[in-house]
Structure 1
């Protein structure tokens, strides 16, 4: 059997940790990747020191800051940028409202792509802006995709500050809301982040149907109600599928 290089093993660890649906233990990595325990612990420590992975309090391995930064850069890279923007612009043309893509970044959501409506009343959340997870359509959609135990742990780590009178700050109530979003696959912001703004979001998935990002549509309530915005969900899902096709090309 040919000898596997340390570089290959390091990349395999980063890939396994990134794709894992929950924090993964060093033992699981050792068994899955067939890497001896002493070697896996040494490589993990090196990756922790360099910021590519991090260790949770319980000992589970999660993506580190440099991997999270890389995920943002991949969404913002020029490859397929024009195609992605054409899909978003078509969605704006159909719905007449602003749309974009948000991805989880540490404890926030960050906007990586955006197409703006030409209508006079607009809500400006530019590319690179961050927003809280617990009161946005993009963030609530992401939280709903997490395993229940991971979600509860995440909610306990979030500040759950109240931005508007509609912001849900009670964990049990928020969990019930996230359960509903998990069933429908539609993230909803009913004036929870910004007063007089509503938003909906659907997931963008990878080839294995794992969550990658949230595709959102938002609008001021003076022009569109939440129920009216929800009528655009089929168009959102079509656009998400078109973006997924671009993602699949990257994964081949």
Structure 2
């Protein structure tokens, strides 16, 4: 992120984005005081920001409770265009759900977190199910580790400088040295299996989505420990994920020729 001292930095816009992000995850309806506490801004400032969003049609208030309106989806419309990663991935993810009877997601790395940009649930809802736009800690997820494993040495060092490596279960890897060893293994194998590292009773397999040697995201299948095991995911799901990720990457490259121009011989 650029320095706050930069003359190109507009603090009011940054604060507005902070307020919008407060409504992420399961915080769909909040009081202004709760938003202020979440983002660390004075309540009068948050109130003015919310009133501005209400005037623009992006927020709504009733009985002191604030929520976002469907118009907020306009802000993400450019990302979810016909040539975007989610749009390309969804048909292939649907095949994965049909073949595995499990939940399939696509995540991208953003700082120390993974943002889920596409997700298809199988017919049985998973405990602690996430939604599109949900942020999860990269170190505690399979999809996060396959992307961390493919960072450059310098980028990975930067990650460890700022990552908190919070413990969520007894299986969460919180020690930098152990996580580096795990990432070396993930890089070598080309996939990761995460067992109860973020939530008890949950496990997942993930592979990177690679385009011209660069990882643009991760594809993952999630399940529960009573429906799947490390062995079943490795033997059955990982091969399907690899094929699906290769297809997604190939189509993404074709759909975005401006990003991947061929270099003349």
Smaller-chain TM-score bracket: 0.5 to 0.7
The count of aligned residue pairs is 186
Provide structure 2 residue ranges, at least 5 long, that are not aligned to the other structure. 10-75, 258-265
Asked if 1:124 is matched to 2:129, the reply is yes
Residue 216 of structure 1 is matched in structure 2 by: 220
Q: Deviations over 1:122-159 (max 9, x none)?
A: 55111000000111111111111112343133123101
1:103-142 matched pairs, under 5 angstroms: 103-119=108-124, 121-142=126-147
Asked if 1:225 is matched to 2:229, the reply is yes
Q: Deviations over 1:28-59 (max 9, x none)?
A: xxxxxxxxxxxxxxxx99xx7557xxxxxxxx
Residue 179 of structure 1 is matched in structure 2 by: 184
| Divergent runs of 4+, >6 A | none
Residue 160 of structure 1 is matched in structure 2 by: 165
Q: Deviations over 1:203-239 (max 9, x none)?
A: 1112x21110000111011211122122211110111
Q: Which SS does the other structure have where 2:179 is aligned? A: helix
Asked if 1:146 is matched to 2:151, the reply is yes
Q: Deviations over 1:99-133 (max 9, x none)?
A: 11000112211000011111355551110000001
Cα distance in 2 between the residues matched to 1:233 and 1:204: 13
Structure 2 vs 1, CA of residues 122 and 175 (structure 1 numbering), >3 Å: closer, same or farther? Answer: same
Structure 2 vs 1, CA of residues 83 and 116 (structure 1 numbering), >3 Å: closer, same or farther? Answer: same
Checking the alignment, whether the CA contact within 8 Å between 1:92 and 1:116 is kept in structure 2 is yes
Structure 2 vs 1, CA of residues 178 and 94 (structure 1 numbering), >3 Å: closer, same or farther? Answer: same
Residue 170 of structure 1 is matched in structure 2 by: 175
Cα distance in 1 between the residues matched to 2:147 and 2:179: 13
Two-structure CA RMSD over aligned residues (Å): 2.3
Q: Which SS does the other structure have where 1:113 is aligned? A: strand
Cα distance in 1 between the residues matched to 2:110 and 2:97: 25
Q: What is the deviation of 1:73?
A: 6.7
Asked if 1:250 is matched to 2:252, the reply is no
Q: Deviations over 1:77-111 (max 9, x none)?
A: 34466553111010000011101100011221100
Asked if 1:200 is matched to 2:202, the reply is no
Cα distance in 2 between the residues matched to 1:120 and 1:131: 18
Q: Deviations over 1:156-183 (max 9, x none)?
A: 3101110001001111111100000011
TM-score, normalising length: structure 1:
0.67
Residue 91 of structure 1 is matched in structure 2 by: 96
Residue 76 of structure 1 is matched in structure 2 by: 80
Cα distance in 2 between the residues matched to 1:233 and 1:175: 22
TM-score, normalising length: structure 2:
0.64
Cα distance in 2 between the residues matched to 1:49 and 1:213: 33
